[in-house]
Amino acid sequence: MRTQVGIMGAGPAGLLLSHLLQLDGVDSVVIETRSRQEIEATIRAGVLEQGTVDLLKASGVGERMQREGFVHQGIYLRFGGRSHRIDFPSLTGGRAIMVYAQHEVIKDLVAARLAAGGKILFEVKDAAVYDLDTREPKIR
């Protein structure tokens, strides 16, 4: 199989990269050692910075996040017997964070890639990169 870009790992970074490349007309293949069910079911925390939220929305994969995620505009720290609010927008020029679990981001990105005809190869064992210093590197 030939492609313009090979991506090792179907985590949020690899899947988002593949999605962004596709939006720019660049073919890619994502190679993952685990099954789709495993990567979508592995529970991970998810606090997304504003830039990530903006990128997911702008690239067309933020609809469910916008609907189901929780926007947090600050936190409370308690010490010395008193609560102290850290107000994110006032300290960051209006930016906030979104609480939306990483496995949910992965579900959204996998669905978007597959709906667009993207190639994700699951359960690939022993894949490695070869010939990186040539004009035609390979993943086998």
Residue range of the domain that includes 79: 47-100
What is the C-alpha separation between 76 and 92, in angstroms, rounded?
16
Residue 11's SS3 state is coil
* Residue 96 and residue 106 share a domain: no
pTM for the model stands at 0.91
* Residue 137 and residue 108 share a domain: yes
* Residue 51 and residue 35 share a domain: no
CATH number of the domain enclosing 122: 3.50.50.60
* Residue 106 and residue 40 share a domain: yes
| Count of structural domains, the chain | 2
For every one of its 140 residues, what pLDDT tens digit does the chain have, with 9 covering 90 and above?
A: 899 999 999 999 999 999 999 999 999 999 999 999 999 999 998 999 999 999 999 999 999 999 999 999 999 999 999 999 999 999 999 999 999 999 999 999 999 999 999 999 999 999 999 999 999 999 98
* Residue 51 and residue 96 share a domain: yes
Give 80's contacts (C-beta < 8 A, 6+ positions apart). Answer: none
* Residue 3 and residue 33 share a domain: yes
What is the C-alpha separation between 28 and 21, in angstroms, rounded?
7
